[in-house]
Amino acid sequence: MEFLTHVPVDRTVVLPFLAAVALMELTPGPNMGWLAIVSLSQGRTAGLAAVAGITLGLTLWMVAAAFGLTEVVLLWPALYQTIRWAGVGFLLWLAWDAWRSTGDGADAAPIETRRRALFRRGLIGNLLNPKAALLYVVLLPGFIRPAQGPLLAQALTLGSLHVVVSVIVHSVIVLTAARAGGALLTRAQGPRMRAAMALGLVAVAVWTAWETRA
Cβ-contact 125, 90 below 8 angstroms: yes
Least confident of 54-58, 131-135, 141-145, 164-168: 131-135
| Confidence band of 105 (pLDDT split at 50, 70, 90) | very low
Share of the chain above pLDDT 90, in %: 24
pLDDT digits (tens, 9 = 90+) for 41-64: 888 999 999 999 999 999 999 998
| pLDDT recorded at residue 141 | 80
Residues 6+ apart with CB under 8 A from 131: 29, 211, 212
| pLDDT recorded at residue 182 | 60
Share of the chain above pLDDT 70, in %: 85
Stretch 99-120: mean pLDDT = 71
Evaluate if residue 175 carries a pLDDT over 60: yes
- Can you give the pTM of this predicted structure? 0.81
Q: Between 128 and 187, name the one with better pLDDT.
A: 128
- In sign, the C-alpha dihedral spanning 44, 49, 55, 58 is negative
What does the DSSP 8-state code read for residue 8? S
Evaluate if residue 206 carries a pLDDT over 90: no
Cβ-contact 11, 4 below 8 angstroms: yes
Residues 6+ apart with CB under 8 A from 192: none
Evaluate if residue 169 carries a pLDDT over 90: yes
| Confidence band of 166 (pLDDT split at 50, 70, 90) | very high
3-17, 27-41, 101-115: which is most confident: 27-41
CA distance 101 to 126: 23
CA distance 104 to 184: 18
